[in-house]
């Protein structure tokens, strides 16, 4: 029996795929649980419309990320924090702090999880960080951490 998967199912397929499964598996498990629906011509047409809508939304998100990348690319952030005489910070500069500074400077709100920072910055100096705005769009940002006077 051919069914359209409504969710990703391990060892079977991804959402939107048409797969051939045993009739009992489809009727007793996949369809009642809302994981699949029978692959009728009406459902196939609806699936195609849904896939076109999703592709259009994905393209729009990519265009938005590229527009944001133009504004963020090459941004240089100056951050100051309390530090000892050896240059070690008493606290640290986190991705949250960097995200807030980016928003203040560029006006674009960037989620802290999109800033690639393996660990918080704990010393003064210059750093180059990568911001992932979209899986296909990455930009670099310069961060200078100086000791607060």
How many CB atoms sit inside 10 A of residue 59's CB? Answer: 10
Give pLDDT < 70 ranges for the chain: none
Task: Render pLDDT for 39-68 as a digit per residue (tens, 0 to 9).
Answer: 999 999 998 998 899 999 999 999 999 999
Rounded Cα–Cα distance for residues 22 and 10 (Å): 16
Rounded Cα–Cα distance for residues 96 and 66 (Å): 22
Which pTM value belongs to this model?
A: 0.70
Cα 91 vs. chain centroid, distance in angstroms? 28
pLDDT of residue 5: 93
pLDDT of residue 97: 92
Spell out the domains of the chain, with CATH numbers in brackets. 2-68 (3.40.5.10), 69-147 (3.10.430.100)
pLDDT of residue 87: 85
pLDDT of residue 91: 87
- Nearest CA-CA partner of 26 in 39, 16, 42, 17: 39
């Amino acid at each position: 029996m051919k069914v359209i998967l409504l969710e990703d199912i391990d060892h079977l397929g991804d959402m939107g795929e048409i797969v051939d499964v045993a009739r009992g598996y489809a009727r007793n498990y996949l369809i009642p649980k809302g994981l699949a629906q029978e692959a009728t011509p009406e459902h196939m047409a609806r699936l195609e419309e849904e896939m076109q809508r999703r592709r259009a939304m994905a393209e729009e998100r990519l265009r938005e990320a590229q527009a944001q990348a133009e504004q963020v690319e090459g941004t240089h952030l100056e951050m100051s924090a309390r530090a000892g005489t050896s240059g070690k910070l008493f606290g640290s500069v986190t991705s949250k702090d960097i995200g807030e500074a980016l928003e203040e400077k560029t006006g674009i709100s960037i989620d802290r999880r999109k800033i690639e920072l393996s660990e918080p910055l704990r010393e003064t100096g210059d750093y180059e960080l990568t911001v992932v705005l979209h899986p296909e769009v990455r930009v670099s940002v310069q961060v200078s951490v100086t000791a607060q006077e």
